[in-house]
Structure 1
Amino acid sequence: MTDSLFTQPQLQDRYRKTTDPVLQLEKINVTFDSFCALTDLSLSIGVGELRCVIGPNGAGKTTLMDIITGKTRPDSGKLTYDQNIDLTGMSPVEISRAGIGRKFQKPTVFEALSVMENLEIAQKMDKSVWTSLRAKLNGEQRDRIDEVLQQLRLTEYRHHPSGLLSHGQKQFLEIGILLVQEPHLLLLDEPAAGLTDAETEYIAELFRALAGKHSLMVVEHDMGFVESIADYVTVLHQGQVLAEGSLRQVQANEQVINVYLGR
C-alpha cells in the first residue's frame, strides 16, 4: 500500500523471537453432554505473537475462545495467563480486566450511541453506560480515543450513530473498543468476514502493526487473509491440535489437507 500508516521497522517487529508465553493451555477438556468439544488440548501463545487458528466447522475454535474468556469452564486442564494468573476460576469480567479482550464474529456495538460514545464507555467498563457517558474524559483518555479513531479510519464518523455505519466500519469500531482498553491479548473471531477487499487489506496491515505491542489470536477461514498476517498457525480438528507451524508447513501437512484444506 502506498499510504501505509506503519513503517517497515514496525512491520518487522512481529518477527522477533520470544520465549515468554502470554497464554498457556495444558490438557484442556470440555464436554457438552456426551460431545467432546475439546480433548487434551494444549497450546502456547508467545508475548507479542500473532497466532492464527484455523480448522473445519466443529473443530473447537469457538469453544477455545470461550474457555479463555471464562464463558465456558473446562472440565479439566489448566489455563495460565501472563505466566502466573490461573484463568480457570475467574469470571469473564475479571478476565477482561486482567487484559484479555475478545471480538466476536458479529459486531457488537451500542448502535443507538455514537462512535465516540462507544469508545468512551469502553474506557470506563467499571461504570454503567449512562454514568460513563456523564463522566468527563481526561486529556490522556481523549488523546487515546483520537488515536484509535484515526488508526481505524473513523475520525470523520466520531459523532455518527454506530447503527448507521457499514458492516466493515462496525468491525473496525469493535476492534477500537478493544484497543482503548489496552488489552495484552486480543482474541479476534473472523475479523475479515464481510469486509471489502480494501478493508481486508487494511485490517491485515493493522494487525501486523499491533503484533509486538499486543498478542493476537485470530480465528479465520479466509486463507488469503491468514497468509497475509500469520506468524504461526494452529490447526484444530475434533477438539485437538492437529498441526502447528508456519502456514506453508501446515498447508503441506497431509492430515491437514485431508481434513480441512482439501475439502
Structure 2
Amino acid sequence: MSAMPPLTDLDARSAVGDGPAGEATAGRVAPRGVDTTHGAILYLDDVTVSFDGFKALNGLSLDVGVGELRCIIGPNGAGKTTMMDVITGKTRPTSGTAFFGQNIDLTRLAESEIAASGIGRKFQRPTVFEAHTVFENLELAMKADKRVRPTLFSRLTGEQADAIGETLALIRLEDAVWREAGLLSHGQKQWLEIGMLLMQQPLLLLLDEPVAGMTDAETERTAELLNTLRGRHSLVVVEHDMDFVTRIAGGGKVTVLHEGSVLAEGTMAQVQADARVIEVYLGR
C-alpha cells in the first residue's frame, strides 16, 4: 500500500462533509449545554425497567464521573444491555431517573437527540461501511451538514482534515487510510467504529464488549486505546474479559450488576475479593 498523503491534501479527495470549520477535533470536546459542575457526567437513580412483570433493571443507581473510565461487569441477564438502552433512549424506564450531567433528562429525549447531546454507543459487533475506505468512514461519521447540496459540493476544511488525522493516529489506522473497511481485520473494524464515534465529538462513550473476538495483540492495543481516551472522554465499558478489565480499570471503580441492580462496587481487587461477586459471577 502506498504511503498516506499529507492530511492537508485530503480535501481534494473529499466527497462528503461540510461542517463548521474546526468543529470536529479529536480529544477536544466542545460542551453542548451539559452541566457537569458537580463532577458527574451520568446519573442513574432508582431505575427500574419491567417487561411483562420481569424486572430487567431493579432500582439501579449509579453515577459516572467526568473523564472516568467505568467498567461494568456481571453475569448474563444482569441488566447491562438494558442499562445502556436506557441511557441511549432505546428503552424507557418504568420508573426512576436518568440524567446526562445535572440538566439533561434522558428519559424525555429521543435516541437521535441523546446522540446529538454527546452520548455515543458502540455495540458488540462492529458496524462500518464496508464498501468505503477507512477515511470515508471517518468522514461520513463527522458532524456535518448531510443535505444533498453540501454533500455534493463540499470539501474538507484544513481543521476537519486534521480531526480525521488525529483520529487515525488514535486508532492506529494511518497505514490503512485508503483500504476498504470490509478488508480490515475484526480488531481494526472495532477501532474504526470507535474512531467514527470520536468524529461525533462524544462526551460519553458506551462500549459493549469491545474486545469480543479479538486476538491477544488486538486486545492489548484496544486497552492502550481506551486508556488514552480516559480523561479526554467519559467511558462506560461493559466487558466479560476479566484480564482486559484489569488492564483498563487500574485503580478506578468497577461496578458489578446482578439481577438488575448493583451488587458490588469498588476497585477490581475489591470486587474480585467480594464473596457475593465470587458466588454469582467469578466463581472460585
Q: TM-score, normalised by structure 1?
A: 0.89
Deviation at 1:57, TM superposition (A): 0.4
Q: Percent identity?
A: 63
> How far is 1:19 from its partner?
5.9
167, 171, 191: which one pairs with 2:186?
167
Per-residue displacement from partner, 1:106-125 (whole Å, max 9, x unpaired)?
A: 00111111111111111136
Instruction: Kindly indicate whether residue 90 of structure 2 is the aligned counterpart of residue 67 of structure 1.
Output: no
- The count of residues paired between Structure 1 and Structure 2 equals 246
Q: Find the counterpart in structure 2 of residue 232 from structure 1.
A: 253
Question: Is 2:143–2:199's contact at 8 Å kept on the other side of the alignment?
Answer: no
3-state SS of the aligned residue for 1:204?
helix
Letter in 2 for 1:147: E
Q: Are residues 132 and 175 of structure 1, via their aligned partners in 2, closer, same or farther at CA, if it must alter by over 3 Å?
A: farther
Displacement of 1:128: 5.8
Q: Which residue of 2 aligns with 1:137?
A: 156
Unaligned runs of 5+ in 2: 1-36
**Unpaired runs of at least 5, structure 1:** 1-17
Whole-angstrom CA distance in 2 between matches of 1:128 and 1:222 = 42
Any idea what SS the aligned residue of 1:169 has? helix
Cα deviations by residue, 1:217-254 (Å, 9 ceiling, x for unpaired): 00000000000111210000011110000011111111
Moved over 4 A (4+): 128-134
1:193 maps to what in 2?
A: 212
Q: In 1, distance between residues paired with 2:49 and 2:147?
A: 33
Alignment of 1:254 onto 2:268:
no
Q: Report the AA paired with residue 120 of structure 2.
A: G
CA RMSD of aligned residues (A): 1.8
The aligned counterpart of 2:139 is: 120
The 8 Å contact of residues 25 and 42 in structure 1, kept in 2 or not, is answered as yes
Map 1:105-116 → 2, pairs under 5 A? 105-116=124-135
Separation (CA, whole Å) in 2 of partners of 1:68 and 1:214:
16
DSSP 3-state at the match of 1:88 = helix
In 1: Cα distance, 2:167 partner to 2:212 partner: 21
Maintained 8 Å contact 1:105/1:193: yes
| Distance change >3 Å, CA 130–CA 204, structure 1 → 2 | farther
Q: CA separation in 2, counterparts of 1:65 and 1:49?
A: 17
Separation in 1 of the partners of 2:149 and 2:50? 39
**Would the aligned equivalents of 2:255 and 2:265 in 1 still touch at CA under 8 Å?**
yes
One-letter amino acid matched to 1:201: E
Deviations 1:185-233 (A, max 9, x none): 1000011111111111111111112111111000000000000111210
**2:53 corresponds to 1:47:** no
Query: Would you say the 8 A contact 1:117–1:133 is kept in 2?
Result: no
C-alpha separation in 2, matches of 1:86 and 1:154: 36
Larger radius of gyration: 2
Q: CA deviation at 1:28?
A: 0.4
Structure 2 residue aligned with 1:102, among 121, 129, 134? 121
| Counterpart code for 2:255 | T
Q: What CA distance in whole angstroms lies between the structure 1 residues aligned with 2:117 and 2:104?
A: 9
Partner-residue secondary structure (3-state), 1:106: coil
How far the C-alpha of 1:34 sits from its partner, in A, is 2.1
Alpha-carbon distance between aligned partners in 2 of 1:198 and 1:126, rounded to the nearest angstrom = 38
SS in 2 for 1:216: strand
Deviation readout 1:13-69 (Å, 9 max, x if unpaired): xxxxx9611000001010112211001100000011110000000100000111100
* Paired position in structure 2 for 1:8: none
Measured at CA, do residues 132 and 166 of structure 1 come closer, stay the same or move farther in structure 2, by a change above 3 Å?
A: farther
